[in-house]
Amino acid sequence: MHSRSSLALSLAVMVVSGAGTIAALDWPLKAKLFPMVIGIPLFCLAAAEVAWILLSKAPEEKAAEGEVPPLVARRRSLLGVGWILGLLASVVLLGFPIAVPLFVFLYLKLQGREGWIFSAVFTAAVWGAFYGLFDWLLHLPFPTGWLVAWLGFS
């Protein structure tokens, strides 16, 4: 159990429940009853957890990550987060129909280190399935990305 993560979470909960309770004070009774009945104990519990962590200073458990040493684990975690954020950015900027094949291809090539042909074929298969199912069959709408719209395509 990593106490730093727990500290972060509990502090966040304190902030949220504290701010929420203050905001709720102005509301009519019926609107504020539940938020206060939940928010105040929540704040106290989170505060208790924070106090526990700060006061106990138990030795940080060296995570037994299995085969992956902690530094490598951290680097890869950040990489994973980066890819996820990258997908979000490309979805918003380029739109799903472009972002999806682009992401799949780049991930296979850069992270997976697969060959060109395999990556291309796999991407094509994924894109085909995506298009066939979501667009052609279900007519689910995916808006054009901001960048694409700005550049004048549609």
Q: CB 28 → another protein: shortest distance, Å?
A: 5
Q: CB 18 → another protein: shortest distance, Å?
A: 11
How many residues bind another protein (CB under 8 A)? The answer is 66
Element spanning 122, H or E? helix 116-130
Candidate list 41, 115, 128, 132; residue touching another protein; CB under 8 A: 41
Q: CB 1 → another protein: shortest distance, Å?
A: 4
Q: CB 62 → another protein: shortest distance, Å?
A: 14
92 belongs to the binding site for another protein (CB under 8 A): yes
Are 99 and 145 in contact by the 8 Å Cβ rule? The answer is: yes
- Phi/psi zone of residue 19: left (φ > 0), alpha (ψ -120 to 50 degrees), beta? alpha
Q: Look at the alpha carbons of 140, 141, 144, 146 in this order and tell me if their dihedral is positive or negative.
A: negative
Task: Classify residue 39 by burial, with Cβ atoms within 10 Å: 0-12, 13-18, 19+.
Answer: buried
Are 153 and 144 in contact by the 8 Å Cβ rule? The answer is: yes
Can you state the angle between helices 29-56 and 3-24, rounded to 10 degrees?
150
Candidate list 38, 54, 121, 124; residue touching another protein; CB under 8 A: 38
Contact residues: another protein, CB under 8 A: 1-3, 5-6, 8-10, 13, 16-17, 20, 23-24, 27-28, 30-31, 34-35, 38-39, 41-42, 45-46, 48-49, 52, 65-68, 73, 76-77, 79-81, 83-85, 87-88, 91-92, 96, 100, 103-104, 107-108, 111-114, 122, 126, 130, 133-134, 138-142
